[in-house]
């Protein structure tokens, strides 16, 4: 069965010292301190250790072969977004990352597809880079669940979403810059609690802000099975009904009507949780994703789905068909 993993992260093996180049900021750089490993350093502070499968395309293909997964859709690691930087500097960083990711795709045709990154803090530059991503052969962009704490319904982002629709570029929304980070650092709570809330924040912002209403052909996929959104849709709809004065200020349509318009990935680590998501959004809107190569990811690449009692048809939707539709791919070219 064809398997397309649409949620994987990659980073160039060597990064310029952007902080030295630009003269400010906590840009990430890499220190290759022992064979096969590197430390990501944010400014002067250790961020995380990564392994060679974060940057080595051949090693990644070997690891994917072990789980019969043919295609990886790669995008950068969210900490690289750097939306906080001066727009022109973030643009330069984005160009570097997008050129690198496009080269990976070109050198390993058949195994890789890719999403770019753009300076979301400046719509003109973001659209310029989006157009360049299209020319490079990238299939869309990955963006954060918030942009410097601004929600995705803010009018300043609308032209970027419109350009994505017009250029037929997919959008992948990934949680980052988690709300409440500093008040719950213990127990990894920003990742366990903050990230699912971030993703629901992004979905609700785009629904209530009318982004999906105004851009019916925009193709958006949300990470980690939509975070806490699917489990709290009842509460969200109830809020829409009971407090229209607070909720229906920019869009009067029921949020439930947008279910089926956007995609989510399948990263739940729990077959019952995945079945609940499938019941809600349908198998045509659940893509196979893993968050490879990070520890919170599904590093057995969908084994829990293959071992489940989900039908072959549903598994085909998850493993390839949903992503083919989201990314606008021609199946005959895969
Ligand atoms: Zn991820």
Q: Is the peptide bond before 143 cis (omega within 30 degrees of 0)?
A: no
Domain ranges across the chain: 4-11+53-333
> CATH for 4-11+53-333, among 3.30.70.20, 3.40.30.10, 3.30.420.40, 3.20.20.140?
3.20.20.140
Q: Which residue has the tokens 């990935």?
A: 265
DSSP 289-307: ---BTSTTS-TTTTHHHHT
Expressed in angstroms and rounded, the spacing between residue 9 Cα and the centre of ligand 1 is 6
The residues placing their C-beta within 5 Å of ligand 1, an ion, are 291
| Per-residue model confidence as pLDDT tens for the chain (334 residues) | 999 999 999 999 999 999 999 999 999 999 999 999 999 999 889 999 999 999 999 999 999 999 999 999 999 999 999 999 999 999 999 999 999 999 999 999 999 999 999 999 999 999 999 999 999 999 999 999 999 999 999 999 999 999 999 999 999 999 999 999 999 999 999 999 999 999 999 999 999 999 999 999 999 999 999 999 999 999 999 999 999 999 999 999 999 999 999 999 999 999 999 999 999 999 999 999 999 999 999 999 999 999 999 999 999 999 999 999 999 999 988 8
| Å from CA of 61 to ligand 1 middle | 18
Q: What is the pTM of this model?
A: 0.98
C-alpha–C-alpha distance, residues 140 and 115, integer Å: 5
- Kindly give, in sequence order, each residue whose CB lies less than 8 Å from that of residue 35, ignoring residues fewer than 6 positions away: none
Half-sphere exposure of 141 (CA within 13 A, CB side): 30
Distance 73 CA to ligand 1 centre (A): 11
């Amino acid at each position: 069965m064809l398997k397309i993993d649409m949620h994987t992260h990659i980073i160039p093996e060597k990064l310029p010292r952007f902080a030295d180049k630009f003269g400010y900021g906590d840009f990430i750089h890499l220190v290759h301190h022992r064979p096969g490993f590197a430390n990501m350093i944010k400014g002067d502070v250790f961020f995380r250790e990564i392994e060679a499968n974060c940057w080595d395309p051949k090693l990644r293909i070997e690891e994917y072969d072990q789980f019969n997964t043919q295609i990886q859709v790669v995008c950068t690691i969210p900490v690289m977004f750097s939306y906080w930087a001066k727009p022109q500097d973030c643009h330069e960083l984005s160009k570097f990352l997008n050129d690198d990711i496009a080269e990976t795709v070109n050198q390993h045709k058949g195994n890789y597809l890719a999403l770019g990154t753009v300076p979301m803090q400046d719509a003109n530059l973001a659209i310029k880079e989006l157009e360049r991503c299209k020319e490079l052969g990238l299939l869309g962009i990955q963006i954060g669940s918030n942009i410097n704490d601004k929600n995705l319904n803010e009018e300043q982002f609308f032209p970027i979403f419109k350009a994505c629709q017009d250029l037929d570029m997919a959008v992948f929304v990934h949680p980052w810059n988690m709300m409440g980070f500093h008040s719950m650092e213990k127990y990894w709570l920003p990742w366990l609690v903050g990230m699912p809330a971030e993703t629901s924040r992004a979905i609700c912002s785009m629904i209530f802000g009318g982004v999906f209403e105004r851009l019916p052909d925009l193709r958006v996929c949300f990470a980690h099975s939509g975070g806490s959104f699917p489990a709290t849709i009842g509460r969200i709809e109830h809020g829409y009904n009971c407090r229209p004065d607070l909720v229906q200020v920019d869009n009067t349509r029921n949020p439930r009507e947008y279910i089926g318009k956007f995609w989510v990935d399948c990263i739940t680590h729990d077959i019952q949780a995945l079945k609940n998501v499938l019941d809600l959004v349908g198998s045509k809107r659940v893509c196979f994703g893993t968050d490879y190569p990070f520890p919170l990811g599904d590093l057995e690449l969908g084994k829990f789905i293959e071992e489940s009692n989900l039908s072959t048809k549903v598994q085909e939707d998850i493993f390839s068909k949903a992503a083919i539709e989201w990314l606008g791919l021609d199946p005959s070219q895969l």
